[in-house]
Amino acid sequence: MSKKGQITIFIIIAIVIITIGVLFFMFRDNLGIGFVNPEVSSIKTFVEECIKGTGEDAVLFIGQSGGYFLGTASSTSEGVPYYYLNGKNYMPSKESVEKEISLYMDSSLPYCTNEFGDFPDFNVSEGEISTKTEIKEGEVIFSVDYPLTITKGESSSIIKDFKMIKISADVLPVYNAIKEIINEQVKRAGEGICLSCLYETASENKLIVDMTPVEDGVVFVVKDEKQLIKGVGFEWRFANKYENNE
């Protein structure tokens, strides 16, 4: 009886394992797992490198454009977004900037993968790209939903999720310094540029601030020369319009 009981337990365990295996292969696409054939692992690595490179481009671009991918109507004639206008704060939230970086990734990543022309032996079918971006201390993290069906002969593999792809980019010190500057400016509405506030905040964060008066306001460029992204110092542009400019 003891041996029969042991055999029965082993049979049940075997059935459970087989069932789990069958269910896994039936629903793996819905789970976003997909089987990655070792032969196409180079394509997965290629996409990950493209995400990193495009992510660095995105961070540089978003800084130059004041936190926007496609711009905003509330901007100077040259397209620099207003953060302070009519005594109000129009600076985009961190969550909004993350979404703008994601839009850049969604739009620009295919230019890097280039229809996978570097892999002529494979037929790669691309799905719609959807990116989630997180700005963290010292880094920006991308999780990209990029469905790829990779076929070679009779073999077919699916890659879908490229999660937690990190680039070294310390955006927060610049963003938080500007946020502090704008909040202080709102408190002093009607008093013009608070130069002491501006340079005190910049000094505390070891940043450089350049100001350029323009016809419809003042354009600021906040630079962090301590870090380089693709060999370029990170900087962030925005504009303020004071009462004496209106």
**Chain segment 81-138, per-residue pLDDT in tens:** 999 998 899 999 999 999 999 999 999 999 999 999 999 999 999 999 999 999 999 9
- For the residues 17-37, what does the mean pLDDT come to? 54
Distance of CA 113 to the CA centre of its chain: 17
Helix (H, G, I), strand (E, B) or coil at 73: coil
Q: How many helices (H) and strands (E) does the chain have?
A: 5, 9
The pLDDT, as a whole number, for residue 149 is 94
The pLDDT, as a whole number, for residue 116 is 92
**Cβ contact 197:181 at 8 Å:** yes
Residue 121 neighbours by CB under 8 Å, 6+ apart: 152
Q: Could you tell me what percent of the chain has a pLDDT over 70?
A: 84
- Both tokens of residue 190? 């009607």
The pLDDT, as a whole number, for residue 5 is 53
- Both tokens of residue 11? 């049979």
Band of the pLDDT at 31, cuts 50, 70, 90?
Answer: very low
> For all residues of the chain together, what is the average pLDDT?
87
Distance of CA 72 to the CA centre of its chain: 19
pLDDT winner (highest mean) among 133-137, 187-191, 223-227: 133-137
Answer yes or no: is pLDDT of 198 > 90.
no
Q: 132: burial class by Cβ within 10 Å (0-12, 13-18, 19+)? A: middle
Global pTM?
0.82
The domain locations on the chain are 1-31, 36-67+93-168, 172-245
Indicate the residue type of 160.
K
